[in-house]
Amino acid sequence: MVKGLGIMLLVFLVVAVLGWLATKMGNVPEEKMVKIRKYFFSFYGLFLIVQGSLHLWEDKGIGAMAINIPLGIVIAWAAMSGKMNPPTKKTS
């Protein structure tokens, strides 16, 4: 009972922190948001590459997790080259 209550409170705390961060990120200027998005997707691509590599190293065979390596490479490349940036709005 106490363990379940602790898990529930931890989940509520994580959701509250994520909600607070989401409201703070809404007020960030677009230039800074592009930089944050670039770093986030670069690290996410790196995470996928490491996860797929560790899976291949541990299992000594190609499994379903091996798709993470090319997926991570594509995501990291797209983030670093600026392909994931939203189109800019032109004011006239």
pLDDT per residue, tens digit, the chain (92 aa), is 889 999 999 999 999 999 998 888 778 788 888 888 889 899 999 999 999 888 888 877 777 778 888 999 999 999 888 777 776 666 65
**pLDDT score for 60:** 73
Does 47 reside within a domain? yes
The whole domain housing 44 covers 2-81
In whole angstroms, what is the distance from residue 42 CA to residue 23 CA? 23
The sign of the torsion formed by the CA atoms of 13, 10, 6, 9 equals positive
Say what the pLDDT of residue 30 is. Answer: 80
The identity of residue 87, as a single letter, is: P
Q: Is residue 45 part of a domain?
A: yes
- Does residue 86 lie within any of the structural domains? no
The answer to whether residue 28 is domain-embedded is yes
**pTM (two decimals):** 0.67
pLDDT recorded at residue 71:
92
The number of domains in the chain is 1
